[in-house]
Amino acid sequence: DAMVIQNPRYQVTQFGKPVTLSCSQTLNHNVMYWYQQKSSQAPKLLFHYYDKDFNNEADTPDNFQSRRPNTSFCFLDIRSPGLGDAAMYLCATSRGAGEGYTFGSGTRLTVV
Amino acid sequence: GESVGLHLPTLSVQEGDNSIINCAYSNSASDYFIWYKQESGKGPQFIIDIRSNMDKRQGQRVTVLLNKTVKHLSLQIAATQPGDSAVYFCAENILPGGGYNKLIFGAGTRLAVHP
């Protein structure tokens, strides 16, 4: 019955080694978002896709990239993870303007 | 700039008491506010929302109050239970244009329910 699925739940990566997190949805929502949530902080929007249109937040580092090959899937690529990138990464979907979000359970990333 | 903030970082209550979590926002252009509950290791879970043409909305054991005059939002939980222990975030929904909405989250309040 899961609607927004994130894999894996926990990811350990080495400093500087590229890593990809994945998100899939069964809701057929137009918009998919990636948020970064550091310990004891609020989620912070990194970027989103409206259909195939990519929108980056102004303060999102270039180290973070995203791909959306189809409606159902969206990936977060971290090209060279640093220790400061350790966080929970949350994927969310929405039908569009004025609609609420559905969040996945998140992927907790550890950088060693 | 845009900001949504909370007055209290932690709140401890006795089981059965009522809880009130507060939130201040600064973006008067938003017309939609949402409260989320986040348990440890999980994603945010929708609790209740309210649009700016309302000042109160009730759900099961939860009530959200919106005071647009002072830009204040609160979440009331009746008869708080141990399962309510979590971090609660208010979020302001804004429409930057382009057909999507953007959530700005407050800092979060940790609710601890004691037996």
B25-72 pLDDT tens trace = 878 888 889 999 999 888 999 999 999 999 999 999 999 999 999 999
Q: Which 51-80 residues of chain A touch chain B by CB within 8 A? A: 53, 55
Classify the phi-psi angles of A92: left when phi > 0, otherwise alpha if psi is within -120 to 50, otherwise beta. beta
Please answer yes or no on whether B101 and A99 come within 8 Å at the CB atom: yes
Touching check for A100 and chain B: CB below 8 Å?
A: yes
Q: Which fold has domain B4-108?
A: Immunoglobulin-like (2.60.40)
pLDDT digits (tens, 9 = 90+) for B76-105: 999 999 999 999 999 998 877 776 778 889
Domain-by-domain residue ranges, chain B? Answer: 4-108
What CATH number labels A4-111? 2.60.40.10
Q: For the residues A82-90, what does the mean pLDDT come to?
A: 97
Q: How confident is the model at residue A1 (pLDDT cuts 50, 70, 90)?
A: low
Q: What 3-state class would DSSP assign to B83?
A: helix
Please answer yes or no on whether A40 and B108 come within 8 Å at the CB atom: yes
Q: Most distant CA pair in chain A: distance in Å?
A: 40
Facing residue for A101 by CB, picked from B41, B103, B108: B103
Phi, psi of A56 (to 5 degrees): -100, 140
Please answer yes or no on whether B103 and A108 come within 8 Å at the CB atom: no
The two structure tokens encoding residue A88: 């929970």
Residue-level pLDDT at A98: 67
Q: How confident is the model at residue A71 (pLDDT cuts 50, 70, 90)?
A: very high
For residues B35 and B88, what is the distance between their CA atoms, to the nearest angstrom?
A: 7
- Across the strands, what pairs with A106? none
